[in-house]
Amino acid sequence: MNANEIILLKYGEIVLKGLNRNKFNQLLEKNVRRALKKADGEFRTEYAQSILFVRGAEGSDMDAAFALLKKVFGVATVCRGLECEKDMDAIRAVLREHADGLLGAARSFKCEAKRSDKQFPLKSPEICAVCGEELLEACPHLRVDVHDPEVTVTIEIRDRAAVVHGVREHGAGGIPVGSEDRAMLLLSGGIDSPVAGYMTAKRGAELDAVYFETPPYTSEAAREKVISLARKLAEYAGTIRLHSVNLTEVQQAIAANCDERLFTLLLRRFMMRCAERLAVQADAVALVTGESIGQVASQTMRSIASTDDAVTLPVLRPCIGLDKEEIVVRARQIGTFEISTLPYEDCCVLFTPRHPNTRPVLDDVRAEEAKLDVDGLVERAVRTDRVLRVW
């Protein structure tokens, strides 16, 4: 038989899950199949010995499949391999013809053999010796380094065929989306909240997201920016229901009746209330924000405590201990940074007080809020909700 390209997905944290491991395996395989729907062609998956094998029918876009699978949470490493006859001549031919792809830019390598079929005539050290010699002949610039190779070329002798694979790339890590409950992400157009959503999904949570707009102070372009961020997040988290809620009336009421130093904090409390209402409707069990201690006035510990006072659901803050540069690095890694820096403002930025109170007293915050029809404002805001499914 000719060599067929395959993709091998190696599990990370899932292997530690004990008696629950089968549940995680099934969920990961489901998420892999979902991701592959975005690639042209037909694919099938097979699980064996902590590796998920992905095979494409003739003409399937393996390049697109490989790129998509690197973003599936639960996968530690991803590599492309070749499947051929369980015969040393066939294996040697694969090594000769595909040495560049197996080794990449490496200058040193070693061979590793795994012989599931104990009836195969050569033992593992013998397979390594033959294959190493073949690679050295194909690539004279290479050297063997059995202790610290740049690439390990693995030859697996399985029941039905042999599999050869080399260069590995990092997968997304984490655990499969869906292994935890749903959470509601407060998604702005900034840098921090998409990173917080990514980090939450990496720990298995399914995501809904809510964006707060205040027309005419914010534009449709600002909303499109957030939709683009949700699409980028969905590459990792799967389908996201994006809610858009109009807070113009809330913002105008705060500006007309309350102490300017507390504008942002009061607005955040309304956002949290609206997000909680939508979360309950969506069967989400937590809220997620991109806050980091001390980054801005509304993110001091006293301000965060005042914000949390407005809701009863737990609030997850994955970025809480990261500085701005650390968050920017992660945003670049996941592809949201360039979108987040597009020049469209959100409602918080437009109504930032000149001298915000960084050490608010909760009783004072509640007293200012008592000047407003809180329940009515929340109810009318939630009724403006527009939902878009993003995937």
Cβ atoms within 10 Å of 144's Cβ, excluding its own = 14
Residue 184, exposed/middle/buried by CB under 10 A (0-12, 13-18, 19+)? buried
Average pLDDT for residues 259-272, to the nearest whole number? Answer: 94
Q: Which among 110, 112, 92 is positioned nearest to 156, based on CA atoms?
A: 112
Q: Which domains does the chain have, with CATH numbers?
A: 4-170 (3.30.2130.30), 182-390 (3.40.50.620)
The 8-class DSSP code of residue 48 comes to E
Cα(303)–Cα(160) distance, integer angstroms? 62
Average pLDDT for residues 365-382, to the nearest whole number? Answer: 97
pLDDT in tens, 164-186: 999 999 999 999 999 999 999 99
Q: Quote the tokens at residue 73.
A: 């949470």
Residue 350 has pLDDT above 60, yes or no: no
pLDDT in tens, 314-326: 999 999 999 999 9
pLDDT in tens, 283-295: 999 999 999 998 8
3-state secondary structure of 123: coil
Average pLDDT for residues 11-22, to the nearest whole number? Answer: 83
Average pLDDT for residues 24-44, to the nearest whole number? Answer: 95
Bridging pattern class, strands 240-246 and 206-213: parallel
Give the pLDDT of residue 142: 92
Could you tell me the pTM of the whole model? Answer: 0.91
Give the pLDDT of residue 339: 96
Q: Which among 179, 77, 69, 89 is positioned nearest to 130, based on CA atoms?
A: 89
Give the pLDDT of residue 1: 47
pLDDT in tens, 118-147: 999 999 999 999 999 999 999 999 999 999
Give the pLDDT of residue 354: 74
Cα 181 to chain center, whole Å? 16
Residue 347 has pLDDT above 80, yes or no: no
Average pLDDT for residues 223-231, to the nearest whole number? Answer: 96
Residues 6+ apart with CB under 8 A from 285: 181, 182, 183, 279, 313, 314
